[in-house]
Chain A
Amino acid sequence: MSLLLTLALLGLTVGSLYALFAVSFGVIYNVTHIFHLAHGAVIGTAGYVIFFLAAKLGWPVWLAILAAVPVAAALGAAIELAFYRPLRRRDAPHVAFFLTSVGILIVAEGLFGTIFGPGVMAYGFLPLAPVPLGPTTLPNANLAMLAAWAFVALAVAYVLATRTGRFMRAVADTPGVAATVGVDLDRTYLVSFLLGSALTVPGVVLYAWTQGLTPLSGLNVLLVASAAVVIGGRTGLLSGAIAALGLGIVQAVALVFLPSGWQDAVVFSLLFLVIALRPDGVFGRTFRW
């Protein structure tokens, strides 16, 4: 029983991290309805930029992290401006968006691999050496969990309280009505990309701190995050966050019943089931923000 509890707590911690990534993906997906796989490229870029600045150039850690924020945001915005917006102007089918997104992702994977090599890059520069999240390191895990949810709360607060956040929720609800009411769709999409991309930075710091960074990290994280958003339902950010938490717990607890390595199968089978049976997500329209 205590194994189950330990695993559940482990799942809570990992799930909290996924929740943060789910929110960063969800900010973009809910508003623009683009399945932005290239978000993985942004995640990876943030991770490698921090690594490069802190480990290779020797910058203070806090400065490296801070510097990564505008870089990530700018990359996300650049993808929207250079690729998605022209496609929208041409009324391109959603397949075209997806292919572009995929292309950008694999370009990034290729670049990371070429520049940094395929191995794992450790975030050795962080104050505590990377430790596996076991029962003995619970205090650190708690810290990570709190940090993740703090950023989730920030994102939700932004979307609820600010004027632009309101427009984002309007566009996420019905873009056509938003346009009729006079909301500037292009500008709202841009802000979504800026915000969602910036949020990858705290996420990737927490992730790489314990797992290290590989060229495929972005994709791996993104797959779970996007699965969570689809499973939760894309009406609100919290649906994705809670679904991500659930996925983290399910993944961890699955270790009791299945050999490790099968977790992916569990997570993505769940994703498939939800799409087939409840296309609007498990929470449907319950969460409005």
Chain B
Amino acid sequence: MTNYLTQISIFISVYLLLAISQNLVLGFGGLFSIAQAALYGVGAYTAALLVLRLHAPFPLDLVGAFVLSCAIGAVLAGLLVRLRADLIIIATLALQLVFSAVFRNWNAVTGGSYGTYGIPRPTIFGAPLAGLAPFAVYAALVALVAFAAALAVARSPFGLAVRGQREDAVLAEALGHHAARERTLMFVLAAGIAGIGGAVYAQFVGYVDPSSFDVNQSLSIITIVVVGGLGNLWGTLGAAVILTFLPQLLLLIPATSNAAAQLQLLLYGVILVAIVRFWPNGLIPEQPSVRAPRRPRPVSVVNAAAEAQALDRLDAVAIERLASPAPTVRLENLAKSFGGVRAVAGVSFAIEPGCVTALIGPNGAGKTTLFNLTCGLLRPDEGRVFFGVRETTHAPQYEVARLGVTRTFQDVRIFPRLTALENLVFALSTAAYAPKGGLRERAFATLVSLGLDDHADEPADRLSYAQQKLLMMGIVFARADPIVFLDEIAAGLDHHSVHAFARLVRRLAASGRTVCLVEHNLGFVWEAADTVMVLDAGGIIATGPPAAIQADARVVEIYFGQGSTLVRP
């Protein structure tokens, strides 16, 4: 009986390694890969071949398996990372099937369908791990080291960065993170861990054959991760234990032992369907990687008065004066077309520090396109962009952000499943101008100043609309960047809030910063802006202070057509 349990524990260790790998890729990275079994197989065959053909001593077989799996993982990630999300599933399915076919047919290397036999147990410090118990300890140690490493990664800034790009890759890049690279790194790490799982498996069982590394195996691994909860490593641990045990229990029932493999499939399928149907977040939800330094107070009911109070806090938030003036943002002859339509047609202007510049114009005039061109989300067809003396025409978003630019998006755009605190820590981790000091402390201080500290550990999507808007402004404050681009910040606000935001924007400019707005809410623009630029059909038709623009006949024309009855004052 003990032998039996010991054997199961070894399989638990192997499955834990595989499940950790899958969770890192899927739960943290957001990459739906069905190819972990292929990487598992790569690790297993590599270890087997290193030992059998090259007589590699321990730990070279383990290391070799890790390295080759990482390498292949890097190649796959390079191929996958730019694909559309819905296609990644099918693409990894295709990869898995290709690998299975290679395992089955590359007789010279893998032994084909019959596999590779006779893999000896590893010899550690001169002692071969012949017995069951010693190997179980070894396997458990390997699994626990990997588990600890995965936990460390999950809690690290890298882990937070990966989770952010999972939620919203564009937002992550706007906040200074190289999303594709982070995703790739996570995939490679996960591949390596799967490879180690394969090596341990090969060392234990003594032979490797293709049927252990097929698509059904990938699906079983996914089931474990889904049951434990995506993004939750402790859940993965529990699920790996339970789901490895469960099919073994079936073997104990005499009548079912013949159909054991079939019943295991059946069981996994039922569990998977049930979990997705009834507990879509897995049995345990994702845990934040950074927590507030103190317990939250009981949260009072959110009502209009409380929200109004929160907005008034905007007046009290400290905005430090810049030591040296912010750079001027200069656009020269920017042009961009989309499929024959000229969205931006030869626009040139300068956004000066110390004042608020607002871009207005009807829908389709090109305002947001201009923003996107300036901040690196789009590449211009013609023209150049300068931040001070530094040219950024072809720089991607994350490079521009790291120069000291904070850019918000239309409406509310935050990382929904990261907590309020995590959202801020994420944004701060690439802030070039934020004062030194712990990221967490600074993030929490910002939340306190906005009155959101009691919600610090709540997922951001549970905050109210107004609170989410405040959180977005929190990112602006905390990063303290010299250049701030606000896209339709006043959308959906009532009168009271509009005044509060207008005061805020003016204070930002007064601190020496370069502030640029895109706005539809003209009332907000008249109140907040120093300079107004009017865009129509991709070009600037008027520039000047609000009073002049309000009275400008050309501007009225684009809103009301020619031949209007307006008389110039």
Q: Spell out A's residues near B (CB within 8 Å).
A: 33, 35, 83, 86-87, 90, 92, 94-96, 98-100, 102-114, 117-118, 215, 219, 223, 226-227, 230, 259, 261-265, 268-269, 271-272, 275-276, 279
The answer to whether B86 and A102 touch across the interface, beta carbons within 8 angstroms, is no
Report the Cα distance A114→B260, complex, angstroms. Answer: 8
Stretch from B265-273, B326-334, B435-443 forming part of the interface with A: B265-273
Give the Cβ gap from A227 to chain B, nearest Cβ, in Å.
7
Q: Given A105-B269, A110-B269, answer yes or no on A276-B98 (Cβ-Cβ < 8 Å).
A: no
Q: Given A110-B263, A261-B104, answer yes or no on A272-B270 (Cβ-Cβ < 8 Å).
A: no
Report the Cα distance A112→B277, complex, angstroms. Answer: 23
Chain A residue nearest in CB terms to B105: A261
Report the Cα distance A109→B226, complex, angstroms. Answer: 20
CB-CB under 8 A from B94, the residues of chain A are 227, 268-269, 271-272, 275
Report the Cα distance A268→B83, complex, angstroms. Answer: 17
**Chain B facing A: main interface SS:** helix
Judge whether B45 is part of the interface by a CB distance below 8 angstroms. Answer: no
Q: A106-B219, A113-B261 are in contact. List 4 more A-B contacts (CB 8 A).
A: A99-B222, A106-B266, A261-B105, A279-B83
Q: Given A94-B86, A102-B272, A265-B102, answer yes or no on A223-B97 (Cβ-Cβ < 8 Å).
A: yes
The answer to whether B98 and A106 touch across the interface, beta carbons within 8 angstroms, is no
CB-CB under 8 A from B79, the residues of chain A are 272, 276
Judge whether B60 is part of the interface by a CB distance below 8 angstroms. Answer: no
The answer to whether A262 and B222 touch across the interface, beta carbons within 8 angstroms, is no
The answer to whether B272 and A110 touch across the interface, beta carbons within 8 angstroms, is no
Q: Could you list 15 A-B pairs, sorted by A, with CB under 8 Å?
A: A35-B89, A92-B280, A95-B32, A103-B276, A104-B273, A106-B219, A107-B265, A107-B269, A107-B270, A109-B265, A113-B259, A268-B94, A272-B98, A275-B91, A275-B94
CB-CB under 8 A from A111, the residues of chain B are 262, 266
The answer to whether B84 and A215 touch across the interface, beta carbons within 8 angstroms, is no
B interface, size bucket: 35 or more
Give the Cβ gap from A255 to chain B, nearest Cβ, in Å.
13
CB-CB under 8 A from A112, the residues of chain B are 262
CB-CB under 8 A from A219, the residues of chain B are 215
Q: Given A106-B265, A279-B84, answer yes or no on A262-B101 (Cβ-Cβ < 8 Å).
A: yes
Report the Cα distance A106→B263, complex, angstroms. Answer: 10
CB-CB under 8 A from B265, the residues of chain A are 106-107, 109-110, 113
For B98, give its contact among A35, A83, A269, A279 (CB under 8 Å): A269
The answer to whether B101 and A265 touch across the interface, beta carbons within 8 angstroms, is yes
Report the Cα distance A28→B438, complex, angstroms. Answer: 53
CB-CB under 8 A from B277, the residues of chain A are 83, 86-87, 100
CB-CB under 8 A from B216, the residues of chain A are 106, 109
The answer to whether A99 and B269 touch across the interface, beta carbons within 8 angstroms, is no
The answer to whether A268 and B97 touch across the interface, beta carbons within 8 angstroms, is yes
Report the Cα distance A112→B259, complex, angstroms. Answer: 11
CB-CB under 8 A from A259, the residues of chain B are 105
Report the Cα distance A98→B219, complex, angstroms. Answer: 11
Report the Cα distance A234→B497, complex, angstroms. Answer: 48
The answer to whether A113 and B101 touch across the interface, beta carbons within 8 angstroms, is no
CB-CB under 8 A from B89, the residues of chain A are 35, 95, 98
Chain B contacts with A in 189-221, Cβ cutoff 8 A: 215-216, 219
Give the Cβ gap from A30 to chain B, nearest Cβ, in Å.
14
CB-CB under 8 A from A226, the residues of chain B are 90
Chain B contacts with A in 92-139, Cβ cutoff 8 A: 93-95, 97-98, 100-102, 104-105
CB-CB under 8 A from A107, the residues of chain B are 265-266, 269-270, 273
The answer to whether A215 and B262 touch across the interface, beta carbons within 8 angstroms, is yes
Give the Cβ gap from B523 to chain A, nearest Cβ, in Å.
32
Most central of B94, B269, B270 by chain A CB within 10 Å: B94
